[in-house]
Amino acid sequence: MHIQFDNAGAAYADHVALKSLTLELSERRIGVIGLNGSGKSTFARMINGLVVPSSGRVLTNGHDTRTAAAKARSAVGYVFQNPSNQIILPLVRDDIALGLQSRRLSKPDETQAVEAVLARLHAGHLIDRRAHELSGGEVQLAALASVLVTEPDIVILDEPTNQLDLKNRNLVERTIAALPENVIVVTHDLALLSGFERVLLFHDGSLIEDGPAETTISRYLALAA
């Protein structure tokens, strides 16, 4: 993984969501924290081109998110803050298979890929479930499976434990810890970032701290006090 921000910023009309930022990311586990409206989600969405920089440029694995958007997007899987919104089809198996359509796989190969990605997440029992019947943790797993089946190099999870009970929160934490992919987690759940190699703290659209989890979280706690 290699993510590069070159004087990249994002603005909407008169609102600056993220001030000009220059940095490089290559660590396997990266956390992104900050108060609501701090710019952290904008930053994460710029990595795969969901938000195109209004100034500067963003390179994801060498691909400019503006001029090589499709290649940048293919490198990144994004699980949104409300993952139920990205589950489109009624059955879990069909929704996961949707990401494979461009590969024109045979039906047996498609089924095998869906079964394999759910098995990775110890969620094979979800394959024939209906999306509206899933618990919060199961929705997260189904959304994550639909992302992983496309084999991204980088997985971004936006508030993956938001509104989950303790059991489902712990399930999601274990799942994230076991992922072999490079992972970027945007979260208010600070315990989720234990052991992360690097944590970024955003405030009022600026990156104000960038370092080990313990150091960055300490500054965040002081900021929020």
Residue 14's pLDDT band, with cuts at 50, 70 and 90, is: confident
Instruction: For residue 192, give both structure tokens.
Output: 């989720």
Say whether pLDDT at 100 is over 80: yes
Question: What are the C-alpha distances in Å from 3 to residues 15, 47, 53, 67?
Answer: 25, 7, 14, 15
Q: From CA 216, how far away is CA 31, in angstroms rounded?
A: 10
pLDDT for position 59: 98
Query: What's the whole-number mean pLDDT along residues 65-92?
Result: 93
Residue pair 81/57 in contact (Cβ under 8 Å)? The answer is: no
pLDDT at 101: 82
- The pLDDT assigned to 163 comes to 82
DSSP 58-106: EEETTEETTTSHHHHHHTEEEE-SSGGGG--SSBHHHHHHHTTGGGT--
| Span between the terminal Cα atoms of the chain, in Å | 35
pLDDT at 102 over 80: no
Question: Binning pLDDT at 50, 70 and 90, where does residue 107 land?
Answer: confident
User: Which band of pLDDT confidence, cut at 50, 70 and 90, is reported for residue 66?
Assistant: very high
Residues 6+ apart with CB under 8 A from 222: none
Half-sphere exposure of residue 157: CA atoms within 13 angstroms, side-chain side: 29
Does the pLDDT value for residue 121 go beyond 80?
yes
Q: Which amino acid is at 156?
A: I
Instruction: Collect all residues with Cβ–Cβ distance below 8 Å to 149 and sequence separation of at least 6.
Output: 96, 97, 99, 100, 113, 114, 117
Using the structure block, give the residue that is written with the tokens 């189904």.
142
Classify residue 217 as left (phi > 0), alpha (psi -120 to 50) or beta. Answer: alpha
Q: Average of pLDDT values for 120-148?
A: 92
Over residues 171-196, mean pLDDT = 94
Q: Shortest CA distance to 1 belongs to which of 49, 43, 48?
A: 48
